[in-house]
Structures are given as C-alpha cells and as structure tokens.
C-alpha cells in the first residue's frame, strides 16, 4: 500500500491533488461528479472582503490547447462565504483552502482575520497574482517589495499555513518566491495564468471585454513546469505546482520538477472527474515504479 | 438533478438540411428527466484543435430507449466535426445542465418562437408541454426555405408558422413580422423564445411592452457548463448570473435588455 499523503508545514493532505481556485467553485458545484473527500484539497473560488461583480461578458476565449479568461474575481464576498457556504463544506473530509484576494493590503488583512476564525479552514492561499482586476491582484505579485509587504502584513494576523500564489508574469519568478519565503510564506503555489490576448480578425475587436486575460491549459504547461523547477531550487518551502495539468502523467512531471502537491484547474472545465482520476493515476504510477511515499517524487528529477 | 459525465453511444446521425443534423445519443443507464431548455456539453475529441466542450440544447428524449437527441447546426469547427460522427461512436457528454422553461398552466395559450439551433428546445417544449394542440402556436424563422428543417414529427403538438427573410417559405421577414406575432401577441398567456440574440430581443421587447410572461434561453459562450468557470455570465437586474446554472432560461423581467 503506497502512501499518497503529502505535507505542507503541519498540514497533511491525503494525496497531492488539489483543485485550483476559480475552477471548482466552493466544491459544492462539482460534488455531483465526485466524492470530494477523495481529493487532497480544494482551493476555493477567489474571495474578497466585499462582493465583486467581476468583468463584463465576454470573459472567455478558446485558444490553441487552452483558454483565456477575464472573470475578474466575481464572488459574493467573505461574509456570504462564512454564512452560506462554510456551513455546507466544513464537515467534508478534505482540506478546503480559501483563496484570499484584495485591492489593498488592509483588505487582505481584514479578510484573512475573518477566515482565521473558521476552525475548519486549515490554510489560505494568498493570491497576489490575479491578472484580471484593475487594483491589487497581480500588481502585488510582480515586484519583490510589494509581494513582501502583503505577505508580511498577512503573516502577522495568520499563523496557520499560508500558501502564496505567484504570478508567472515576471522576469524572475524565483526571486519573488524567495522574497515571500523571507516574509514567512509556508509554501508557494505556481503558476497563476499568463497574461494573454485574443483578437477577432472579422470584427477587428478584442474577444475579451477587458482586452487582455489570463491564459491557462496545456498551452502553458512547459513554461509552468520550468518555473516550478526554478522555484524549487530557489526556496526551502514546499512548492505547489500547476499549469495545464490534464492527467496523472502531467501531475507526476510537476512533482518530479519539484512540486510537493499539484493543482488541477482548467482540466475540470473539460471533465470534472479528472482530479480523482489523477489521484488513482499517481497511485498506479507509484505502485509500478516501487515508490512508497508520494513525497519521494518531489524534486526527484534525474539529471 | 444530478449532473454526470458519461460516455454515450451515438445511435443515429441524420442530416436534416444543408447544415442541420440530428444526433441521437444513448445512455448505458436510465436517463434522468430532461426538460426543454436544458442542455448538454459535448466533447468533440475528433476535432483535436478545439479545446473545450461545445454546448447543445436537447431536442427530444426517449426514456424507453434511454436516448436523447440534439439538433446540431454547423456553426464552426467543433459542430462541423461533430456532424461527421457515425453510429457506434462514443461521445463524452456532461448532462443534464441548466434550467428549463417554466411549463405552462393547463389552460394557457402559448407562443413559441424559434430560430437557428434555438428551434430545438421550442419543438421539445411543444411536444411535452401538455397543452391541447390548438393552444400551442410555434413560429420558426430562418433566412431561407433551405435553412428550415422538417418538423412533421412535431406537427401533432401544435400549429406551426414559418418565416423566411427571402420569402421562400411562409411569411417574408423576421419572426416578429408574422401576423400571429404582430397581430395576435396579446392573445397569448406565455411566450417562449430561443434563437439568435437579436431575434430574442425583438420578441422579448414586444412581450414586455404588452406585459406578457416571456422566457428566453440564452447561448452565452461558456467553458464548463456547470457553474465553476463563471465565463458565461449575463447581466441581470440582480447582477451577473451564470447562464449555465442560473439559466439558460431567464424570465425577461430579470434581464437588463
């Protein structure tokens, strides 16, 4: 019997497969398709202090082996989460992680303080990398000083595991990872989407209402994999890898490159059962290759 | 109603006109109840260059055979490749998705207005709405006679009227130009419509002016179809709503049209 569990700080995930924020709602939306307790964790839809309507339609463009989105953090706000969603998920046997967003450092802090009160939320993912909002979001994640400032402020009010989600839209992602590690991040997750654009030649207009959006899907996988590898070598904290994972082999590649756990995102849009298929795929791979513990995979790339 | 991802068997693929096909899919197990307006999200694996599934509304259901049919109109690469699938092929489908039209009360007189692939839920609704055929009136619009499909299988469930932009079949003009619409609209208790945006907006405006109950079924672009990507939103009086879960059917009073 292989051991699929992995750890981030003192938090144990029953397996290394999490669903990525913005692709699985709050878990309930995909519960028809799977037993949520089979997942290592669920990183819920990006949450803000106040409700957000998000960007105008159209918010999506299909691209070669991927898609652009420009949702813009549409959500009903943290109070709605606490009152209407948390009671339904708190007893499900998986790790439900809140993806924390803000336009200002004060908003990140205030939101985190509210989440800190929730016993059954074992960790947050601090999102400093959303490319689709005008204020905050990615702006914090593209320079070391601003990334440090957010992490430092949130760290003061939150002692449970804090995963910081990094933007790939930077010159050197390893530098940002080191900066947030230096301020007390317990793990980094990467990558968020790449800033991209789609144009309709017939109408001569941009496809997205926001002109630019975030690119995800297999199109970004090789770049995401490279970034996970670079960050793994630069920091001591665990790396959560994501970017175009469609199957167990993709997930294993990320772990070999240095990821302690992975997140499955865009693949869910095509088949919401993929995350649980990946769990069993990793298990079979470990059995075939005589690997006892999933954590042995992390960074075991043969060079 | 529980949504599932299933490999369905294509049992029939019938060409209806130059760009419309009826695909009949069979589930290995008992089908859940599926209502007019609901849709399914289809993986078109043979179209390797497309990434996402494509949504199609349901045309008909046969619970005895565990089959349902889709009206597939060729609009782009995905739908084109889907129409080349043959009986015996397996197709991954997520279903049933979305909301359905509000079924009429038993003494209602209803008007159904369809165009393009929006004809499918209108025919399905005419068939199962449970009204006497004399109370079901269906206007179907298309560019030309060759764009209309044969609706003889649905003839028994209502009265059908056609419009074409070139006058080659039925009334010349748009659906709103048909006398049943332009002169008798006030005689209907409920109006249902599905089709191109401009058509639905024209129908909805007239119905709203006359204060008649009216539901429309929207076709916003979507990635997932089950409420997680938040890409298909429609602006409503209560904010942005996902067309895939809170629609596709909306009462026009909720929209900002």
Q: What's the average model confidence in pLDDT over A122-146? A: 89
Dist CA A294 CA A296 (whole Å): 5
Determine, for residues A67 and B220 on separate chains, whether the beta-carbon distance falls below 8 Å.
no
User: Is B72 in the same domain as B14?
Assistant: yes
pLDDT of residue A134: 76
* ipTM exceeding the 0.85 mark: yes
Distances (CA, A) of B234 to A54, A74, B37, B241: 11, 13, 16, 5
Residue bearing tokens 């349902």:
B68
Provide the mean pLDDT of chain A: 97
Does residue A207 sit at the B interface (CB-CB below 8 Å)?
no
Tally of CA atoms within 13 A in the half-sphere of B116 that contains its CB:
16
User: Is B80 in the same domain as B134?
Assistant: no
Q: Would you say A245 and A262 are in contact if contact means Cβ atoms under 8 Å apart? A: yes
Kindly report, residue by residue over B24-67, the tens digit of the pLDDT. Answer: 999 999 999 999 999 999 999 999 999 999 999 999 999 999 99
CATH number of domain containing B23: 2.40.30.10
Does residue A226 sit at the B interface (CB-CB below 8 Å)?
no
Kindly report, residue by residue over B95-122, the tens digit of the pLDDT. Answer: 999 999 999 999 999 999 999 999 999 9
Dist CA B212 CA B184 (whole Å): 12
Does residue A270 sit at the B interface (CB-CB below 8 Å)?
yes
Which tokens in the block code for residue A122? 């074992």
Q: Would you say A39 and A68 are in contact if contact means Cβ atoms under 8 Å apart? A: no
pLDDT of residue A136: 78
The proportion of chain A whose per-residue pLDDT surpasses 70, expressed as a percent, equals: 100
Q: What's the average model confidence in pLDDT over A224-241? A: 98
Q: What's the average model confidence in pLDDT over B77-104? A: 98
The proportion of chain A whose per-residue pLDDT surpasses 90, expressed as a percent, equals: 96
pLDDT over 90 at A132, yes or no? no
pLDDT of residue B10: 98
Determine, for residues B232 and A217 on separate chains, whether the beta-carbon distance falls below 8 Å.
no
Tally of CA atoms within 13 A in the half-sphere of A91 that contains its CB:
2
pLDDT of residue A214: 97
Catalytic residue among A17, A42, A71, A130: A130
B54: which chain A residues are within 8 Å (Cβ-Cβ)?
A: none
User: Is B114 in the same domain as B93?
Assistant: no
Burial of A204 per CB tally in 10 Å (0-12, 13-18, 19+): exposed
pLDDT of residue B3: 97
Does residue A127 sit at the B interface (CB-CB below 8 Å)?
no
pLDDT of residue A123: 98
Does residue A299 sit at the B interface (CB-CB below 8 Å)?
no
Dist CA B37 CA B103 (whole Å): 11
Pick the more confident residue, A131 or B125.
B125
Kindly report, residue by residue over A154-198, the tens digit of the pLDDT. Answer: 999 999 999 999 999 999 999 999 999 999 999 999 999 999 999
pLDDT of residue A297: 98
pLDDT of residue A7: 97
Measured between CA atoms, how close is A54 to chain B, in angstroms? 8
B223: which chain A residues are within 8 Å (Cβ-Cβ)?
A: 60, 62, 67, 69, 266, 269
What's the domain range around B197? 110-217
User: Is B179 in the same domain as B150?
Assistant: yes
pLDDT over 80 at B141, yes or no? yes
Measured between CA atoms, how close is B254 to chain A, in angstroms? 16
User: Is B88 in the same domain as B152?
Assistant: no
Does residue B237 sit at the A interface (CB-CB below 8 Å)?
no
Q: Looking at the partner chain, which of A22, A25, A67 has a beta carbon nearest the beta carbon of B51?
A: A67
pLDDT of residue A130: 85
pLDDT over 80 at A135, yes or no? no
User: Is B92 in the same domain as B172?
Assistant: no
Q: Where do the DSSP E strands lie in A147-200?
A: 162-165, 187-190, 194-197, 199-200
Which tokens in the block code for residue B108? 């209602």
* Total domains present in chain B: 2
CATH number of domain containing B207: 3.40.50.80
* Domains defined along chain A, listed by start: 6-52+72-194+215-297 (3.20.20.70)
Q: What's the average model confidence in pLDDT over A245-256? A: 98
Measured between CA atoms, how close is A277 to chain B, in angstroms? 13
Does residue B2 sit at the A interface (CB-CB below 8 Å)?
yes
Tally of CA atoms within 13 A in the half-sphere of A233 that contains its CB:
9
pLDDT over 80 at A125, yes or no? yes
Q: Looking at the partner chain, which of B52, B226, B230 has a beta carbon nearest the beta carbon of A62?
A: B52
In a domain, B60, yes or no: yes
B234: which chain A residues are within 8 Å (Cβ-Cβ)?
A: 57
Provide the mean pLDDT of chain B: 97
Give the B window 188-227 contacts with A, CB below 8 Å.
Answer: 220-224, 226-227
Does A130 qualify as catalytic in the annotation? yes
User: Is B200 in the same domain as B130?
Assistant: yes
């Amino acid at each position: 019997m292989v051991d699929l569990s992995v750890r981030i700080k003192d938090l144990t995930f029953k397996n290394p497969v999490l669903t990525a924020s913005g692709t699985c709602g709050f878990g309930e939306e995909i519960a028809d398709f799977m037993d949520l307790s089979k997942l290592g964790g669920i990183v819920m839809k990006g949450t803000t202090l106040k409700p957000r309507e998000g960007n105008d339609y159209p918010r999506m463009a299909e691209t070669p082996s991927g898609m652009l989105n420009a949702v813009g953090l549409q959500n009903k706000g943290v109070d709605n989460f606490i009152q209407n969603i948390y009671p339904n998920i708190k007893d499900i046997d998986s790790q439900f992680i809140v993806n924390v967003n803000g336009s200002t450092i004060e908003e990140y802090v205030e939101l985190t303080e509210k989440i800190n009160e929730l016993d059954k939320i074992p960790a947050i993912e601090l999102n400093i990398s959303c490319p689709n909002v005008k204020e905050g979001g990615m702006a914090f994640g593209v320079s070391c000083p601003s990334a440090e400032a957010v992490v430092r402020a949130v760290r003061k009010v939150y002692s449970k595991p804090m995963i910081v989600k990094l933007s790939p839209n930077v010159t050197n992602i390893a530098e940002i990872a080191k900066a947030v590690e230096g301020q007390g991040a317990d793990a980094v997750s990467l990558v968020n989407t790449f800033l991209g654009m789609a144009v309709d030649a017939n109408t001569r207009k941009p496809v997205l209402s926001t002109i630019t959006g975030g690119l995800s899907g297999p199109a970004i996988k090789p770049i995401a994999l490279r970034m996970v590898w670079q960050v793994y070598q630069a920091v001591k904290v665990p790396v959560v890898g994501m970017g175009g994972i469609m199957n167990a082999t993709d997930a294993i590649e990320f772990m070999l490159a240095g990821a302690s756990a992975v997140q499955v995102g865009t693949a869910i849009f095509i088949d919401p059962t993929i995350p649980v298929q990946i769990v069993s795929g990793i298990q079979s791979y470990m059995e075939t290759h005589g690997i006892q513990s999933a954590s042995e995979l992390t960074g075991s790339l043969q060079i | 109603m529980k949504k599932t991802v299933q490999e369905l068997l294509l049992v029939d693929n019938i060409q209806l006109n130059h760009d419309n096909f009826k695909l009949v899919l069979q589930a290995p197990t008992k089908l859940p109840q599926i209502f007019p307006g609901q849709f399914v999200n289809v993986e078109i694996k043979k179209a390797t260059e497309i990434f996402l599934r494509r949504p199609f509304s349901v045309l008909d259901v046969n619970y005895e055979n565990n089959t349902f049919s889709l009206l597939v109109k060729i609009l782009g690469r995905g739908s084109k490749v889907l129409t080349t699938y043959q009986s015996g092929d397996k197709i991954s489908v997520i279903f049933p998705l979305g909301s359905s039209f509000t079924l009429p009360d038993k003494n209602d007189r209803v008007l159904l207005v369809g165009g393009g692939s929006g004809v499918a839920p209108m025919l399905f609704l005419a068939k199962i709405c449970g009204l006497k055929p004399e109370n079901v009136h269906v206007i179907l619009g298309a560019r030309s006679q060759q764009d209309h499909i044969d609706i003889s299988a649905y003839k028994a469930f209502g009265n059908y009227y056609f419009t074409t932009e070139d006058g080659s079949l039925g009334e010349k003009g748009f659906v709103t130009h048909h006398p049943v619409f332009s002169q008798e609209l006030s005689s209907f208790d409920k109006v249902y419509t599905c089709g191109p945006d401009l058509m639905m907006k024209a129908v909805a405006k007239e119905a709203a002016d006359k204060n008649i109950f009216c539901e429309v079924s929207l076709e916003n672009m979507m990635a997932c179809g089950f409420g997680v990507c938040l890409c298909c939103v429609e602006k409503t009086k209560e904010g942005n709503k996902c067309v895939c879960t809170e629609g596709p059917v909306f009462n026009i009073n909720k929209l900002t049209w």
